[in-house]
């Protein structure tokens, strides 16, 4: 099962830093599954980046089930 890691505002809104999900398939589908599971962060999930095993991936990347999936929220600087 992939281990999904949440950072920053995502972690604050969910009250968890990680969870394991029974999921295999494209990252784009994972994004939709997470929106359904956690509607409180649905708007943020449209703007996040996904990193699998510490490498950024796009929505077409396929998860096999044993990865570490980091969800990186948008950042702003000043």
- pLDDT score for 74: 80
- pLDDT score for 75: 75
The torsion angles phi and psi of 34, rounded to 5 degrees, stand at -70, -35
Strand, coil or helix: what is 42? helix
Measuring CA to CA, which residue among 73, 74, 69 is closest to residue 33? 69
> What sign for the dihedral angle of Cα 74, 44, 14, 57?
negative
- pLDDT score for 20: 97
What are the sequence ranges of the domains in the chain?
A: 3-72
For domain 3-72, give the CATH number.
Answer: 3.10.20.30
Query: Which residues contact residue 4 at a Cβ distance below 8 angstroms, ignoring those fewer than 6 apart?
Result: 18, 19, 20, 21, 30, 34, 69, 71
Which pTM was predicted?
A: 0.91
Positions of the chain with pLDDT under 70: 76-78
């Amino acid at each position: 099962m992939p281990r999904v890691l949440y950072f920053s505002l995502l972690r604050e809104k969910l009250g968890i830093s990680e969870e394991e999900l029974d999921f295999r398939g494209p990252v784009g589908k994972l994004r939709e599954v997470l929106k359904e599971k956690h509607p409180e962060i649905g708007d943020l999930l449209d703007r996040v980046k996904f990193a699998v095993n510490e490498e950024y991936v796009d929505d077409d990347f396929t998860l096999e089930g044993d990865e570490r999936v980091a969800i990186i929220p948008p950042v702003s600087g000043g």
